[in-house]
Amino acid sequence: MAIEAQPQMPRVWRAETKPHKFCPGCGHGIILKALGEAIDALNIQQRAVFGCDIGCSLLAWDFFNLDTIQTHHGRTTPVLVGLKRARPELLAICYMGDGGAYAIGAQHLVSSVSRNDPVTIIVANNTQYAMTGGQMAPTTLPGQKTETSPYGRDVELTGRPMLGPELVATIAPSGAYVARGTVANVVQLKNFIQKGLSNQLKGRGISFIEVLSACPTNWHTNAAETWHFIEKEMSKFFPVGELRTPDGEQRQEVEHRGRQP
């Protein structure tokens, strides 16, 4: 299901740079469509600043009609936090991969969450380092083959998949919005992203949305296998749903479908 097949472009998309630079079937394009629609719905094009990381997210440096900063691997959050502190009226969107968020940028993520920095962080979880050719990431599934786990991820040696939203939800102060969406449910994803952006608009605290994303290029999957991997394999480890919503500050019921202990 390539993004090119989808009819309507969000208003904030930059037509001149479409078709975009992601591989066919890539999840990044779907996430950025949901983000674009959320920005349109909230009418915040004038105030939003988009930051992308190094990783395939960098290919979005000219994706939107938004002021955009392409930063370093794992450093998008501190750049936008610095910006937001200096210009609180702007809306800071930090877009990155799972490697950028949970490995090289983990100390920034944890610290921003504990400070409740008023930014919106969106992480594309494709279970590996895509841009560098498909190495193991903190999110790689047990037994999953990557270029640096060619015999499958050995959890005894390299640990289990990192649960980003769960970590964030555990340490975030009140006012945080935390969710995990998936490119397999775009309507829900747009809703999560929109809530995350609203949370920043309302000045309540940090918002964090992980998205289960697709990388058919490095997974070496066809369309059917790609969707199967997201919906049947990834979702076993990464339950989709809202983990923290500032309204009522209640931990929401997360789908525990098939979750392994």
Partner 1 sequence: MVTKPIKGEQRSFMTGNEVIAWAALAAGCEFMYGYPITPQNEIMHYWTRLAPKYERGFLQTEDEISAGFTTIGGVLAGKRVFTATAGPGNVLMQEAMAMAEMMRLPTVVVVTQRGGPSTATVIYSQQELNLTSFGGNGEGLRIVYSPASHDDLFSYTIKAFNSAWKYRFPTFVLGDGYQSKMRAPVTLYDPEERGLTMEPCYPMVGLPGLPGEEREPAHLRNTYNLEEELFAILSDSIKDYESMTPEVVEWEATAIDDAELLIIAHGIVSRAARAAVQVLREEGLKAGLFRPITLRPFPVAELRRLTGQARRLIVVESAYGQLEKMVKTALYGLKIPLRSYLRPGMGITPEEIVQFAKEL
Ligand X SMILES: Cc1ncc(C[n+]2csc(CCOP(=O)(O)OP(=O)(O)O)c2C)c(N)n1
141 is a site residue for ligand SF4 (CB under 6 A): no
Cβ contacts of 65 within 8 Å, gap of 6 or more: 12, 13, 14, 45
217 is a site residue for ligand X (CB under 6 A): no
194 is a site residue for partner 1 (CB under 8 A): no
Candidates 10, 99, 164, 181: give the one binding ligand X (CB under 6 A): 99
Cβ contacts of 165 within 8 Å, gap of 6 or more: 178, 179, 180, 208, 209, 210, 243
Backbone torsions φ then ψ of 176, nearest 5 degrees: -80, 150
86 is a site residue for partner 1 (CB under 8 A): yes
130 is a site residue for ligand X (CB under 6 A): yes
Residue 57 interaction partner, one of ligand X, ligand SF4, Mg ion, none, beta carbon < 5-8 Å per kind: ligand X
Please, what is the minimum distance in Å from the beta carbon of residue 149 to Mg ion?
14
122 is a site residue for partner 1 (CB under 8 A): no
DSSP state of 102: I
140 is a site residue for Mg ion (CB under 5 A): no
230, two tokens? 């997201």
Which parts of the chain fold into alpha helices (H)? 27-42, 76-86, 98-99, 106-115, 155-158, 164-171, 186-201, 216-219, 223-228, 235-237
Task: Identify which of residues 133 and 173 has a Cβ nearer to ligand SF4 in the complex.
Answer: 133
124 is a site residue for ligand X (CB under 6 A): yes
259, two tokens? 């979750």
Residue 180 to residues 84, 201, 235, 237, 252: CA-CA distances in angstroms?
A: 24, 20, 10, 12, 12
Candidates 58, 122, 206, 230: give the one binding partner 1 (CB under 8 A): 58
46 is a site residue for partner 1 (CB under 8 A): yes
Candidates 3, 23, 92, 230: give the one binding ligand SF4 (CB under 6 A): 23
Residues 212-231 that bind ligand SF4 (CB under 6 A): 215-218
195 is a site residue for ligand SF4 (CB under 6 A): no
3-state secondary structure of 163: coil
Site of interaction with partner 1 (CB under 8 A): 12, 14, 45-47, 49, 54, 58, 61-62, 64-72, 75, 78-87, 89-90, 107-108, 110-111
